[in-house]
Amino acid sequence: MSYTDDEQKEGIVYLVGSGPGDPGLLTLKAAEKIAEADVIVYDYLAGHNFVHKAKPSAELIYVGKSGKRHTVEQIDINQILVKKAGEGKTVVRLKGGDPYVFGRGGEEAEELAAAGIPFEVVPGITSAIAAPAYAGIPVTHRDHASSVTFVTGHEDPAKEDSAIDWSVLGKNTGTLVFLMGVKNIEFITRKLISNGMDPSTPAALVRWGTTPSQISVTSDLTNIAGECQLRGLAAPAVLIVGSVVSLRGALSWYEKKTLFGKRIIVTRSREQSRKMAEKISANGGEPILFPTIEIAAPTDYGPLDDAISRASEFDWILFTSENGVKRFFKRFFDLGRDIRELAGPKFGAIGPVTANAIASTGIKVEMLAKEFLAEGLLKVFEGEDLTGRRFLIPRAEKARDVLPEGLENKGALVEVTPAYQTLRPSRADVESIKNSFLGKSIDAVTFTSSSTVNHFMEVFEGSDIKELLSGTLIASIGPITSNTLGRHGLKASIEAREYTIDGLIKALMSHYVKAKTPV
């Protein structure tokens, strides 16, 4: 018997922990299961960073809480899991932190077991250890604590027969970590003191741990509740009680990162923004993806397909962007062509990123313009007789004409073919970004090409852009982009010295280092 695609697939549920917030703390196995899932049932604390890892066809079901209200009752969540897996689907039940640490994951697993649905658990990093770690607090330490206890702080203080033995906790000499305890923080600390714990025991509250919004408050058992109330701190936060909290002064690291807490808009296409977003996160900042450019197939593949079929006839194939390279080769192979057809033409690139993209296909780049501008490529050909030379330039549908015109002026026969188009993004996020600008909650906006500037302006057409950006740092990747900003009446406050993403991140970093250094 052979297997066929039509055969009924057996459903399964993966109870997956997403980690506490920092997308880097999502485990490899969690990412793998998310990518396989037909259905993802997720919570408020599971974050939204997983969405781009899911299959486009995956069904996303939000069952989190909004305010005090459960969007979906637990019993209904259980039913969703059983039903979807029963239909033969691969279901990921995604929870913040670890699924078995105060996540009702145990109850859901019992339900699945009772219904005979296969399930597996993918543990996640719980906020109970990750939030303290990012606040500079190791939950155990040879000189401070030989045990760590996770406690729910959610219990109703009015409850007569508490499931928590406060007389034991009051005598605890290790570290206590309370989850879901912000509302009851006053009650919790009073209970510990009245059950024998030293009122001067160090205590800390860490809110939105491992995210750029992380806030840590350190005090002692007597005063921590008052301090938190004073600052109006709400969930989600963990309360850490014990002498390990005193290490925070020396061990704080995350909150010291250069871009910590900075909200930085990335305007390039989603496809291209990953690296930049990762660099911002790695330095403690919060990347806000607002792609003013989306890369899509050209309106008509005809000219590209035609050029591809005659690719061997060109003397040169020049690329001006990484997108051009990727789209050209993807189409080339999609059409079933053979790489050996490209043995004849020489390859040229503007900028090292474009050159690397060509090189990664296994083709040698014979000419690289050092300047990351079309003018640079022209300079390379200076003094050469290009009469009758055939050039192919696969690139964006709309692009500057400096390069083809310059080559034609030297007698070359230039064929420019659209390999992709850049689209304006949907307006879905525009309003919310606008409100963030108006609320002065965006620290910086980055522009990585003239098109990101132009598209940004189009998106905000009709708004007073200067007013909108008045509280925001404008960061540009280089002089051409800055010029384009200038043409729209805006001035870049930061310009990268090296016209690359790394260069732009460096420029942002040194700006904030300077801003932090006391004069």
Using DSSP bridges, classify how beta strands 202-207 and 237-241 pair: parallel, antiparallel or unpaired: antiparallel
Please give the Cα distance from 515 to 258 (Å, whole number).
10
Mapping DSSP to helix (H, G, I), strand (E, B) and coil, where does residue 331 land? helix
Is 218 among the residues that bind ligand SAH (CB under 6 A)?
no
Least distance in angstroms from the C-beta of 162 to ligand SAH: 18
CB of 131 to ligand SAH, least distance (A): 4
Q: How far is the CB of 239 from ligand SAH (least distance, A)?
A: 8
Could you tell me which stretch among 96-104, 195-203, 240-248, 509-517 binds ligand SAH (CB under 6 A)? 96-104
Q: What does 142-207 look like in DSSP terms, one character per residue?
A: TTTBS-EEEEE--S-TT-SS-SS-HHHHHT--SEEEEES-STTHHHHHHHHHHTT--TT-EEEEEE
Nearer to ligand SAH, 131 or 386 (CB): 131
Which part of the chain contacts ligand SAH (CB under 6 A), choosing from 90-98, 195-203, 314-322, 419-427? 90-98
Sign of CA dihedral 312, 313, 316, 317: negative
Among the listed residues 29, 83, 180, 305, the single catalytic one is 180
Identity of the residue numbered 279: K
Which CB sits closer to ligand SAH, 112 or 475?
112
Residue 397 CA to residue 303 CA, distance in Å, equals 11
The region of 234-242, 304-312, 353-361, 472-480 touching ligand SAH under the rule CB under 6 A is: 234-242
- 56 C-beta neighbours (distance < 10 Å), count: 5
CA pair distance 209, 241, nearest whole angstrom? 16
Written as one letter, the residue type at 511 is H
- Segment near ligand SAH (CB under 6 A); pick from 24-32, 78-86, 95-103, 328-336: 95-103
Q: Please report, for the chain, how many H helices and E strands are present, in that order.
A: 19, 23
Binding mask 29-58 for ligand SAH (x = CB under 6 A): ----------------x-------------
Beta strands in 459-505 (DSSP E): 473-476, 494-495
Site string for ligand SAH, 97-126 (x = CB under 6 A): xx--xxx----------------------x
- Span 131-160, contacts to ligand SAH by CB under 6 A: 131
Chain-centre distance of CA 385, in angstroms?
A: 48
Which listed residue (20, 132, 136, 418) binds ligand SAH by CB under 6 A? 20
Per the annotation, the verdict on 165 as an active-site residue is: no
412 closest CA partner among 374, 377, 385: 385
Q: Which residue is nearest to ligand SAH (CB)?
A: 97
| Residue ranges with strand state E in 307-366 | 316-319, 346-350
Decide whether 95 or 248 has the Cβ nearer to ligand SAH: 95
Q: Binders of ligand SAH among 178-197, rule CB under 6 A?
A: 179-180
Give 209 or 348: the residue with its C-beta nearer to ligand SAH: 209
Sequence-separated (6 or more) residues with CB below 8 Å from residue 251: 136, 137, 138
Nearer to ligand SAH, 210 or 422 (CB): 210
List the one residue out of 317, 310, 295, 331 whose CA is nearest residue 416. Answer: 317
Number of residues that bind ligand SAH (CB under 6 A): 25
76 is catalytic: no
| Beta-strand pair 367-369/346-350 | parallel
Is 76:54 a contact under the CB 8 Å cutoff?
Answer: no
Given 9, 65, 440, 466, the catalytic residue:
65
Is 180 noted as a catalytic residue in this protein? yes
Backbone angles phi, psi at 413, to 5 degrees: -100, 110
Is 249 strand, coil or helix? helix
When binding is defined by CB under 6 A, the residue of 11, 202, 236, 478 that contacts ligand SAH is 236
Do residues 129 and 137 lie in contact, with contact meaning Cβ atoms separated by under 8 Å? no
Nearer to ligand SAH, 78 or 211 (CB): 211
Cβ contact 215:207 at 8 Å: yes
Nearer to ligand SAH, 176 or 237 (CB): 237
Closest approach of ligand SAH to the CB of residue 101, in Å? 4
Residue in 22, 33, 38, 43 annotated catalytic: 43
Least Å from the CB of residue 65 to ligand SAH: 10
439: which 2 tokens? 């609320």
Shortest Å, Cβ 71 to ligand SAH: 15
Q: Which of 42, 208, 319, 447 binds ligand SAH (CB under 6 A)?
A: 208
Q: Using CB under 6 A, which of 33, 84, 93, 95 touches ligand SAH?
A: 95
Q: Contact with ligand SAH (CB under 6 A): which of 189, 210, 354, 446?
A: 210
Nearest to 43 by CA among 80, 95, 92, 102: 95
Rounded Cα distance between 371 and 379, Å, is 9
- The smaller minimum CB distance to ligand SAH, of residues 43 and 322, is found at 43
Residues catalogued as catalytic: 43, 65, 180
Q: Point out which residues bind ligand SAH (CB under 6 A).
A: 20-21, 45, 95-98, 101-103, 126-128, 131, 179-180, 206, 208-211, 235-238
